Amino acid sequence: MGELATAEVCDTNAALLVSGDLRVLQPVFQMYGQRRAFSGPIVTLKVFEDNVLVREVLESRGEGRVLVIDGGGSMRCALVGGNLGQLAQNMGWSGVVVNGCIRDVDEISGCDIGVRALAAHPVKSNKKGIGEKHVPICIWGTLIRDGEWLYADCDGILVSKSELSI
């Protein structure tokens, strides 16, 4: 699957931007992982300082999907580390977007996936298994639903109600 340039998608889909069927995430995410551009159907996850469900989801076949984790914007611990980055790559995930932190940046930088997160943090998360899968989430004012499409590149991150083409 060829990656779509987010700027070009915005230019050619102005009506979708106006209607809200195409949304732009706030430019607050740092880039990690080898893939500078990635896209795919979204799997949503809502957790807070607990990554048990993150591992559970990434252990399933990714099939080019993107895991979008609403970690509540916590800057107190990491939700994804090097082991989970490698797992995501091995299971065929296109990328992971974390509204929170990651760790093991050097390891994640070696993984053939796209990763976006707010920052890096050395502390690991809790392991209680609390959270929700496949639920609507709101990240920085942008509503994201399970099954929508995500497009990310160096210019930003887009969420679309349906798959797009140029």
- The answer to whether the annotation marks 103 as part of a ligand binding site is yes
Q: How long a stretch of residues is the chain?
A: 166
- The answer to whether the annotation marks 147 as part of a ligand binding site is no
- Side chain identity at 66, as an amino acid letter? V
- Tokens 């996936």 sit on residue: 113
- The answer to whether the annotation marks 51 as part of a ligand binding site is no
Nearest one of 21, 13, 87, 31 to 56, comparing CA atoms:
87
- The answer to whether the annotation marks 81 as part of a ligand binding site is yes
Which are the contacts of 90, defined by CB distance < 8 A and separation ≥ 6?
none
Q: Residue 87 region, left (φ>0) first, then alpha (ψ -120 to 50), else beta?
A: alpha
- Which residues are annotated as part of the binding site for Mg(2+)? 104
- Which residues are annotated as part of the binding site for substrate? 81-84, 103
- Which residues are annotated as part of the binding site? 81-84, 103-104
